[in-house]
């Protein structure tokens, strides 16, 4: 089901362009309404740690937004923004579906952060934009749309109901780095210091992986998926940023080949982009999809295949979803599984098996 939903959304986004460009979102089922209360908030009578931190002004693609007071009812329109909100001790009243796999759009790495709060209302974006009326009904006092493709018209419409944090102008749509996402949410919630501490904790995990695996630094790597052929993720996609955080370098000319997007299908003449020290594939079935890819001589005959330098990740597993989310909460969960796979793939021994995680 989730794989079909992803593919449907990708196909809709690709229909009007020469090279098919990926987009992200999926439809899912509705969930219960969230109360928006949280430990330490005005909802339980305790003083707010953010008192006196307002107003704050946050710049974005469509100008800037002023948050005048501590938000109490937060709706996340960005597809991964809920993790940053939860990591900072807040429970959104509404979240937006993407993966079609979790109640309230909260993965297993995030559910503990509910802290007794209600599961957020689950909203949809079927490719036509946010559900404006349902968002308004939740009576938000902050709408977070950082990891999004919000249009100016959609931004202006949502701004009638609450301050809106749109995607930053310096990155492609759906291109905000997790660090900036976390710190921007922290600023809006009056928790900048806490946000920086969370970012530092995840960065330390990457640093430890680099130290334990010096062969990662300077090696080339690429992230891909076999959607309608061979689709590669560019430098502004969270998955590619995973590799560079490990110390890997992306293929020379990658962004030039895919254009001003976070990913695109490549022709068979450009499979050289896949012939790197490691190729990480997001697939529906690690065994079957690997076999299918290897039967294509334009890819199967490359040294990256012959020398066993591939990593296959089931994209609809919790592990695959955590990597795709690429957030302050999902990354630690994902790195525990990805690091040993990368180490096995680049160890220089074609006989080393790149094993699937036990869970």
pLDDT tens for each residue of 202-218: 999 999 999 999 999 99
Asked if 115 contacts 91 with a C-beta cutoff of 8 angstroms, the reply is yes
- Looking at 36-45, 145-154, 328-337, which range is the least confident one? 36-45
Question: Is the pLDDT reported for residue 137 higher than 60?
Answer: yes
Rounded mean pLDDT of 7-36? Answer: 35
DSSP state letter for 272:
G
Going by pLDDT thresholds of 50, 70 and 90, the confidence category of residue 231 is: very high
- What DSSP string runs through 206-229? HHHHHHH-GGGTT-BEEEEE-TTS
Question: Is the pLDDT reported for residue 12 higher than 80?
Answer: no
pLDDT > 70 in the chain, percent: 86
CA atoms of 198 and 87, how far apart (whole Å): 8
Question: Is the pLDDT reported for residue 17 higher than 80?
Answer: no
Out of 111-115, 225-229, 276-280, give the one with best mean pLDDT.
Answer: 276-280
Rounded mean pLDDT of 120-129? Answer: 90
| pTM (predicted TM-score) | 0.82
Question: Is the pLDDT reported for residue 37 higher than 80?
Answer: no
Q: What is the pLDDT of residue 195?
A: 98
Question: Is the pLDDT reported for residue 63 higher than 70?
Answer: yes
Q: Which sign does the torsion angle of CA 38, 178, 174, 28 carry? A: negative
- Looking at 19-33, 64-78, 178-192, 317-331, which range is the least confident one? 19-33
Question: Is the pLDDT reported for residue 74 higher than 80?
Answer: yes
Q: What is the pLDDT of residue 21?
A: 33
Q: Within 10 Å of residue 166's Cβ, how many Cβ atoms? A: 28
Question: Is the pLDDT reported for residue 46 higher than 80?
Answer: no
SS3 at position 39: coil
- What DSSP string runs through 65-115? EEE-S--SSEEE-SSSHHHHHHHTT---SEEE-SSS-SGGG--TTTGGGGT
Q: What is the pLDDT of residue 274?
A: 96
Asked if 43 contacts 36 with a C-beta cutoff of 8 angstroms, the reply is yes
Q: What is the pLDDT of residue 108?
A: 96
What is the token pair recorded at 299? 């890819």
Asked if 19 contacts 259 with a C-beta cutoff of 8 angstroms, the reply is yes
SS3 at position 235: coil
DSSP state letter for 250:
P
Question: Is the pLDDT reported for residue 260 higher than 70?
Answer: yes
CA atoms of 50 and 60, how far apart (whole Å): 22
Rounded mean pLDDT of 150-178? Answer: 96
Rounded mean pLDDT of 328-348? Answer: 96
Asked if 123 contacts 105 with a C-beta cutoff of 8 angstroms, the reply is no
Question: Is the pLDDT reported for residue 359 higher than 60?
Answer: yes
Q: What is the pLDDT of residue 52?
A: 52
């Amino acid at each position: 089901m989730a794989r079909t939903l992803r593919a449907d959304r990708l196909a809709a986004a690709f229909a009007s362009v020469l090279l098919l460009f990926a987009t992200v979102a999926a439809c899912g089922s509705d969930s219960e309404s969230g109360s928006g209360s949280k430990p330490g908030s005005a909802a339980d009578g305790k003083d707010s740690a953010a008192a006196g931190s307002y107003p704050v002004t946050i710049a974005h693609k469509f100008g800037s937004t002023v948050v005048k007071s501590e938000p109490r009812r937060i709706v996340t329109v960005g597809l991964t923004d809920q993790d940053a909100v939860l990591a900072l001790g807040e429970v959104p009243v509404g979240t937006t579906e993407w993966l079609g796999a979790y109640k309230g759009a909260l993965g297993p790495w995030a559910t503990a952060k509910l802290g007794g709060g209600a599961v957020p209302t689950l909203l949809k974006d079927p490719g036509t934009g946010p559900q404006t009326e349902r968002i308004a009904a939740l009576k938000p006092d902050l709408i977070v749309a950082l990891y999004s493709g919000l249009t100016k018209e959609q931004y202006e419409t949502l701004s009638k109901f609450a301050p809106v944090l749109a995607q930053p102008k310096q990155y492609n749509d759906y291109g905000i780095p997790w660090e900036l996402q976390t710190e921007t949410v922290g600023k809006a919630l009056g928790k900048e210091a806490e946000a920086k501490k969370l970012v530092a904790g995840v960065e330390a995990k990457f640093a430890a992986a680099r130290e334990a695996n010096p062969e990662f630094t300077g090696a080339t790597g690429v992230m891909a998926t076999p959607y309608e052929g061979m689709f590669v993720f560019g430098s502004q996609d969270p998955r590619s940023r995973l590799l560079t955080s490990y110390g890997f370098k992306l293929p020379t000319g990658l962004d030039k080949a895919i254009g001003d997007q976070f990913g695109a299908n490549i022709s068979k003449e450009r499979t050289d982009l896949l012939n790197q020290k490691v190729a990480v594939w997001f697939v529906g079935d690690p065994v079957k999809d690997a076999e299918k890819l290897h039967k294509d001589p334009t890819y199967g005959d490359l040294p990256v295949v012959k020398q066993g330098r591939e990593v296959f990740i089931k994209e609809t597993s919790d592990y695959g979803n955590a990597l795709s989310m690429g957030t302050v909460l999902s990354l630690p969960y994902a790195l525990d599984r990805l690091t040993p796979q990368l180490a096995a793939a680049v160890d220089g021994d074609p006989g080393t098996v790149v094993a699937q995680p036990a869970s």
